[in-house]
Structure 1
């Protein structure tokens, strides 16, 4: 175990609470029970051999008379970087590709249909340093870069959709860099890409040194297994960002992230789950894990001493459902694969029950927001 880090909230509770009490705690914390999936023995053995955590859970929906269940399995992958951050770029990428290939193989054994990788998965999360080289050398084409070609091979081999978040180099628009998620169909074709809408300017997150807010809007991708969207990292703090993916029809919204404990951990279990509830959809939070050390010190000019580490990426990836239930999280310190079986019929069932979209009054907010963004906006405040 990493120094000073606990393995997971779930492990702490199970260690210290008697079973009868723990059952009520799970209900209060996580809502309706998710059933544990009976994963293949070969997958469990492979995860042990390859040294990553494997968990599987299923969400239930009511049986309908006119619609068959729409069952899909998603796989969330969290992982550490494998080599020191000053290792040659090509070696770092190759090591991570091998690691992901091993985990995706196990996902396929578990019947996963859609895999989502963590934010900027091919590289260290070096955007704290503000150095350009060698970090910009990890950038590549979303359409035909080596990482996209690698994921296309996996998608075809295992008949699954892959969401691959990378540092994109757009050679057709001035070599501009973007924080981008590439969506690859189970046929191996690139369905498209979506760029990070909201860029942090907090603490060591100096990301605007490398890329700015995305320009692809709120795309939703129709796959063989359902309609998916990708809300990259900092976008999870913006409720309207989740809303627009939902308005465009997303049934599953993936949220690949890289976020550290001291900054955001109290928010992590709440935001994606709230979004699932508010938008009648499934949400999947994926966070990288581990502590990454950089050779050169850096500072955010906040009065603190220069340092070599960003902080601990705390993993804890999970899936939340529109009824407010959620899976337990993966480990805070280990690589892992979380398999979740979803019945997408639950989205409409909860929509019919709570009707948040029907009662949303979007026209009211659209009119008032249109006024609020004007330079001469006068807030609507009543005074005596």
Structure 2
């Protein structure tokens, strides 16, 4: 079984949700033109890290974002891992992923579990505490967000359900991009999964981002690297490869969780 993924790496406009929604429309259209099965977006694409402006900018309940993703999924018959957006829930704000299938059905949502103090998330956002496990394009999958990548125990907790594909939307600054690739390759190898990770490009008032969205196979090999350009890149994922990787080295069967305290 093979699926084609489209990585929508773009320059998020700081504190400009309307402009970013327009760009997302363009990216999903381009992904559909390339006959992608799934399109993936970066982290906090509606507002960027304009955290002090969230009372005015965050999407109330995530409803505007969900409606947009559902509309685009139905129009182009494509699954969407909607990166993540700033969402207002009552008096709180969360960094939330929404996933929809080509019929516009909401398959799952995920609020970022690990908040990144270096970018002040812990001052403005409420952490999530739930997994996001779903089946998209026929593939058992899970999604995480950016800083979650540094917590292999959390990734393994979710991956043990039988995931074949892990999604990581991010806003990962250029200064730490060497670690980005190392960590993503490690998560692919140790969980014997494919990894699709979408970063952003451009600048906000405090950070420079240089993309390098990646698709990685379960042996840790980079299948696709978006480089530093704004736009969509494509990669084909051959899920049949999983059997040849997992058969000789059944890491999940060989676990001893009673020792992992």
* Residue deviations 1:261-317 (CA, integer Å, cap 9, x gap): 22x22201111111111101111121111112xxxxxxxxxxxxxxxx312111010
Q: Which residue of 1 aligns with 2:128?
A: 214
Aligned ranges for residues 369-380 of structure 1 at < 5 Å?
Answer: 369=261
User: How many angstroms does 1:245 deviate by?
Assistant: 2.1
Post-superposition offset of 1:328: 4.0
Distance in 1 separating the partners of 2:207 and 2:56: 23
Q: What's the secondary structure of 2:45's corresponding residue?
A: coil
User: Does structure 2 retain, via aligned residues, the 8 Å contact 1:219–1:248?
Assistant: no
Q: Residues 247 and 93 of structure 1: is their aligned pair in 2 closer, same or farther, counting only changes over 3 Å?
A: same
TM-score, length-scaled by structure 1: 0.64
1:330 aligns to 2:246 (yes or no): no
Preserved contact between residue 47 and residue 58 of structure 2 (Cα < 8 Å)? no
If you compute each CA radius of gyration, which structure gives the higher value, 1 or 2? 1
Q: Is the partner of 1:253 in helix, strand or coil?
A: strand
Conserved 8 A contact 1:113-1:225: no
C-alpha distance 311-349 of structure 1, shift in aligned 2 (>3 A)? same
Deviations along 1:58-81, whole A, 9 cap, x unmatched? xxxxxxxxxxxx111111111113
Q: Normalising by the residue count of structure 2, what TM-score does the alignment of the two structures yield?
A: 0.93
2:246 pairs, out of 340, 351, 376, with 351
Q: Does 1:317 align with 2:213?
A: yes
Structure 2 vs 1, CA of residues 109 and 175 (structure 1 numbering), >3 Å: closer, same or farther?
A: same
Residue 182 of structure 2, aligned match among 266, 270, 273: 270
Equivalent residue, structure 2, for 1:290: 202
Give the aligned partner of residue 148 of structure 1: 66
Query: Are residue 232 (structure 1) and residue 145 (structure 2) matched?
Result: yes
Unpaired segments of 5 or more residues in structure 2? none
Q: Check 1:225–1:136 CA distance in 2 against 1; reply closer, same or farther (3 A cut).
A: farther
Q: Is the 8 A contact 1:318 1:338 kept in 2?
A: no
CA distance, structure 1, for counterparts of residue 55 and residue 172 of structure 2? 20
Counterpart residue number, 1:93: 17
Residue pair 1:231, 1:241 contacting (<8 A) in 2 also: no
> CA contact under 8 A between 2:212 and 2:227: conserved in structure 1?
yes
Contact 2:224–2:235 under 8 Å retained in 1:
no
In the alignment, structure 1 segments of 5+ residues that lack a partner are: 1-69, 293-308, 370-384
Asked if residue 159 in structure 1 is aligned to residue 77 in structure 2, the reply is: yes
Distance in 2 (CA, whole Å) between partners of 1:255 and 1:191 is 16
Which residue number in structure 2 is paired with residue 75 of structure 1? 6
Deviations 1:197-226 (A, max 9, x none): 111123xx101111132122x221122431
Structure that is richer in strand per residue = 2
In the TM superposition, 1:240-255 aligns within 5 A as 240-255=153-168
Give the count of matched residue pairs: 260
